[in-house]
Amino acid sequence: MARIPGIDGLFALLQAQTEALTQLPATLGSLTTAVRGLGEVVGHARDAVQTVNRLATRLDALVEELEEPLRALAPGLMRLAVVLDD
């Protein structure tokens, strides 16, 4: 029985397309899960940045509060170091 040239290739192409389309919902589900996971990671990163920002603000305030008294102590500590070296 004679076959039409190229019909087997056409059927193979249609079968491959059908198989790809049947896998599409699972692929989209995986992609959706990955995007949701990325959203959670971004949320955690945002929380971490906010926490670090609050910590930096507190440290800045602490340094500002202690800087002047420590600078005032420096000359006396230098004199004490000279006395202790002798």
Q: Is 8 or 80 the better-scoring residue by pLDDT? A: 80
- Rounded to the nearest angstrom, the gap between the alpha carbon of residue 29 and the centroid of all alpha carbons in its chain is 23
Question: What's the CA gap between 39 and 31, in Å, rounded?
Answer: 12
Lookup: tokens for 26: 């699972």
Instruction: Name the pLDDT band for 8 (thresholds 50, 70, 90).
Output: confident
What's the mean pLDDT when you consider all of the chain?
91
Q: State if pTM tops 0.85.
A: no
User: What is the helix (H) or strand (E) element at residue 12, kind and residue range?
Assistant: helix 7-85
Question: What's the CA gap between 56 and 52, in Å, rounded?
Answer: 6
Tell me the backbone φ, ψ of residue 31, rounded to 5 degrees.
Answer: -65, -40
